[in-house]
Amino acid sequence: MADVIEARGLSRVFHTSVRRPGPGGALRSLVNPLRVAKTAVENVSFSVGAGQLLALLGPNGAGKSTTIKMLTGILTPTAGEARVAGVVPYGDRERNARNIGAVFGQRTQLWWDLPVRESFSILRDIYDIPAAEHRARLAEFDSLLELSSFWGTRVRHLSLGQRVRSDLAAALLHDPPVVFLDEPTIGMDVVVKEQVRDFLRYQVEKRGRTVLLTTHDMTEVARLAERVVLINHGRIVLDGPLEEIRRRFGGTWQVRITLTDPVADIVALPGVAVLRHEGPRLVFGPDGPQAPSVHEALKLIIERYEVSDIALEENDLEDVMRAAYLRAPDPTDETVELTRPSGAAPSAGSAVRSG
C-alpha cells in the first residue's frame, strides 16, 4: 500500500527572545537580545497509507500541532522532509492545498458574517469545483451531517457542533485525498461527537481518504483508530496498533466466568493465569510479560470452556495513555518492533521504546 503521508526526520526549532532580569533588563534585552532555542519537534518519522486513520496523540505541548502544521505546509521544518500525496507541503503550498482538507477545532475557514451555504459557494469558486459535483457533495454531506437545517444561518450564530460539522463539509468540498483534523470535536456534546465519528468512519472506509487525527478524547481513539503514534517532548515515543499499546501499558486485566458445568481439571492457557477457582466460578488474569490482551484471553477462555456468564475488566484507555505519556523518551533505549494491523503501512517510527 502506497504511503500518502510521509514524515522523515521532521524537526522544528523556534527561537525566542528572553528578557534579562533586573531594572535594566528590558534595555539590555532591547540592545542585545538573548535568543533561546526551543525544540518543538525532533526527528519525527512516520507514514500513513491510503484509506487509513492514524491518531497522533500526546499531552499538551508534545508537538502534535507543530507536526500537523509542517504537514499542511503552514510551517517549514528546520530539518527533515515531508510529502503529502506526493507533494512537499511547504514547497508547493498551492498544490498541497488542493490535496488536503484541514479542520482545527478552535478555528474556522468559513466566513463569519455569511450564511454557511454562501461560504460553501465561495469555496466552490476557489477550488473550481464543477456545479454538478458541488451539488452532489453538498447533498452527500447533508445526508451525513444534517447541514440543511442550519446552512442558511450566519456562521457567527452557529453552535459549536454546527460550526464544526460545517467546517468538516467545507474541508472536503474539493474532494481531497488527505484530511488533517486537530482536535475537531473539542467541547462538543456526545450526540454531535458520535455523528462526527460516523462521518469520519464513512470517509475512511467508503471514500478511502487518509485521515490524521489529534485528540484528547480517548473514546474517539478507541472507536476510530486502529493505529496510534504517541509523541511526547517533541519525539515519537511509540507507533503501533492500539491493541499493542493496551498490552504494553494497560497493566492488569481480569476475566470472570461462570462455567455451565463445574470441572475439576482447569487447563493452563498460554499467558493466562487462574487467579481464583471457587466451584463453577473462575477468575483469570495475565501471566507474565508475554500475556495476551484481554480480548485475546477472552477468545482463548471461550474456546476452552463452556461458559454461562462472563465479565471482563481492563484499564481504561485514559489510564493506558497516561502511563505511556509518563514514559519520557530516551534516545539510548533499545526499540522493539510492534506487530502492525493487517494492511498497515510500515513506518520509520514503528517502534516502541523498551524499558
Same domain assignment for residues 241 and 260: no
Helix/strand/coil (H/E/C) assignment for every residue in 52-86: CEEEEECCCCCCHHHHHHHHCCCCCCCEEEEEECC
For residue 11, the model assigns a pLDDT of 96
Same domain, 120 and 197: yes
Q: What is the pLDDT of residue 96?
A: 95
What is the predicted pLDDT for the residue at 342? Answer: 42
Is residue 337 domain-resident?
A: no
Task: Provide the number of structural domains found in the chain.
Answer: 2
Least confident piece of the model among 23-37, 81-95, 139-153, 318-332 = 318-332
Residue 247 has pLDDT above 60, yes or no: yes
Q: Which domain holds residue 259?
A: 252-314
Q: What is the rounded CA–CA span in Å between residue 207 and residue 51?
A: 8
Assess if residue 335 is contained within a domain: no
Q: Which residue has the higher pLDDT, 266 or 139?
A: 139
Q: What does the pLDDT look like over 110-129, one tens digit per residue?
A: 999 999 999 999 999 999 99
Given a cut of 60, is residue 240 above it in pLDDT? yes
Q: Which of 246, 266, 281 is the last residue of a domain?
A: 246
| Domain contains 325 | no
Taking the C-alpha atoms of residue 107 and residue 93, their distance in angstroms, rounded to an integer, is: 20
Domain end call among 314, 333, 348: 314
Same-domain status, 108 and 148: yes
Instruction: Report pLDDT digits (tens) over 144-160.
Output: 999 999 999 999 999 98
- Residue 82, judged by CB atoms within 10 A of its CB (0-12, 13-18, 19+), counts as buried
To the nearest whole percent, how much of the chain has pLDDT over 70? 88
Q: What is the pTM of this model?
A: 0.75
235 and 197 within one domain: yes
pLDDT value for 23: 72
Task: Determine the pLDDT at residue 343.
Answer: 45
Average pLDDT value for residue range 79-105: 93
Mean pLDDT on 259-280: 81
Sign of CA dihedral 148, 126, 94, 60: negative
Same domain, 241 and 268: no
Cα–Cα distance measured from residue 146 to residue 198, given in angstroms and rounded to the nearest whole number: 13
| 218 within some domain | yes
